[in-house]
Homo-oligomer: A and B are copies of this chain.
Amino acid sequence: MGDAKFELFYWPGIPGRGEFVRLVLEEAGADWVDVGLLPEGKGGGAKAVMQLLGKGPVPAYAPPVLKVGDVVISQASNICSYLGERFGLVPQDEASRLHARQFQLTVADVVAEAHDTHHPVAVMKYFEDQKDAAKQRAEDFRATRIPKYLGYFESVLKANPHGGGTFLLGKDFSYPELALYQLVNGLRYAFPNAMRRIAPQVPGVMALRQRISERPRIAAYARSPRAQPFNEQGIFRHYPELDDLKSA
């Protein structure tokens, strides 16, 4: 720690919202360290993440937090846009940057809704204590929200006059595609049955996810021990009772 140019502070053990930042750092080939994954003895772990919160001249509300020299910034989408722009993962013109941020924020909206399927009542209460509301919310999320949001991104791919249905923005890859990739990964983990039903409605989005998974740096990261699997502590949780019934 201390030598890397970018220090990410995020809870160890889950991909979570930190993963959106990690993917941009990985794709950029940035010199970075995942502080939460370092041993506590080396100034890492959840302890280091906790200690950073609420400190400094500009406190962060919650992780992920990125430290760049003396500057500490938070809000996952804000960090991703900063890094994406800094590393040239989006065209230079202002409109492209604004549209990339728009896409990133729209993915973040789906992420928040995905979280609320298992915690519709209170974030600090157990899933088991809000399961009835969770079932209702998850049903609505699967039936109307996932198709609407992914359908939106499908329409973005189709509307892009330069991308041939392939790119969200312009003629090339841009950083919000990493967010869309991670979103689809998370949705497939949490709602595998629903996503098998929905995927054929959004072929462009599914093809984009596949392409991103084959980008050399993303593929190498996914194979590395740094990449943490989804689990039932994170945003995207697989609870069978919140998914579609398995079709026969």
| Interfacial residues, chain A to chain B (CB-CB below 8 A) | 54, 56-61, 71, 73-75, 77-78, 81-82, 95, 98-99, 101-102, 105-106, 109, 112, 116, 120-125, 130, 133, 136-137, 140, 144-145, 149, 152, 155-156, 159-161, 169
Contact = CB atoms under 8 A, between A and B. Distances in A.
B102 A156 contact: no
A138 to B, nearest CB: 10
A64 to B, nearest CB: 11
A120 B98 contact: no
Contact of A136 (B74, B122, B124, B149): B122
Q: Which label, helix, strand, loop or mixed, suits the secondary structure of the A interface? A: helix
Contacts of A156: 58-59
A216 B140 CA distance: 44
A106 B53 CA distance: 14
22 contacts: A57-B159, A57-B160, A58-B160, A58-B169, A59-B155, A60-B102, A61-B106, A61-B149, A71-B95, A73-B98, A75-B102, A78-B98, A105-B105, A109-B112, A112-B112, A116-B116, A116-B120, A120-B137, A121-B136, A121-B137, A123-B140, A125-B140
A58 B112 contact: no
Contacts of A56: 159
A60 to B, nearest CB: 7
A38 to B, nearest CB: 24
Interface centre among A75, A77, A82, A155 (most CB of B within 10 A): A75
